[in-house]
Amino acid sequence: MVLNVDPATVGTSATTEEGISAGIAAATSAAAAALTAVLPMGADLDSIAFAAALNGAGASYVGTAAEHSANRSMFGGAQNLAAATYTATEAIRDTALGL
């Protein structure tokens, strides 16, 4: 089996993933207050319960978005590691073939 990997392309993909992760983190951070600090429209129990439900849904979204951002960041790190490993492995192989 022939494996042809271009480390620069894998590195570009990793950089893209890191950029997407940073964008998600920034957008989530900017929206977190609006999503988790909903105030009741009135002093009645329904308004209070509805505001609490919205705050809970917002907190759930913020947590999910943060997890997604972290996963994309870890994937980018894994791609960087894979590119470096492939480059090192090829250098070792080339050295061994040159002996």
pLDDT for residue 51: 97
Decide if 2 is inside a domain. no
Decide if 78 is inside a domain. yes
Helix (H, G, I), strand (E, B) or coil at 84: helix
Residue 46 has pLDDT above 90, yes or no: yes
Q: Please, which contacts does 48-51 make with residues 24 or more away whose CB atoms are closer than 8 Å?
A: none
pLDDT for residue 5: 85
Q: With contact defined as beta carbons under 8 Å apart, do 17 and 75 qualify? A: yes
Q: With contact defined as beta carbons under 8 Å apart, do 94 and 13 qualify? A: no
Decide if 17 is inside a domain. yes
Q: Could you tell me the residue range of the domain that residue 42 belongs to?
A: 8-94
Q: For position 18, which CATH number holds?
A: 1.10.287.850
Per-residue pLDDT reduced to its tens digit, 56-73: 999 999 999 999 999 999
Per-residue pLDDT reduced to its tens digit, 10-45: 999 999 999 999 999 999 999 999 999 999 999 999
How many whole angstroms from its chain centre is CA 3? 28
Helix (H, G, I), strand (E, B) or coil at 40: coil
Decide if 53 is inside a domain. yes
Helix (H, G, I), strand (E, B) or coil at 8: helix
- What total of structural domains would you count in the chain? 1
Decide if 3 is inside a domain. no
pTM: 0.79
Per-residue pLDDT reduced to its tens digit, 69-98: 999 999 999 999 999 999 999 999 999 998
- Please provide the distance, in angstroms rounded to a whole number, between the alpha carbons at the two ends of the chain: 23
Q: How far apart are CA 4 and CA 40, in angstroms?
A: 59
Decide if 47 is inside a domain. yes
Decide if 1 is inside a domain. no
Decide if 65 is inside a domain. yes
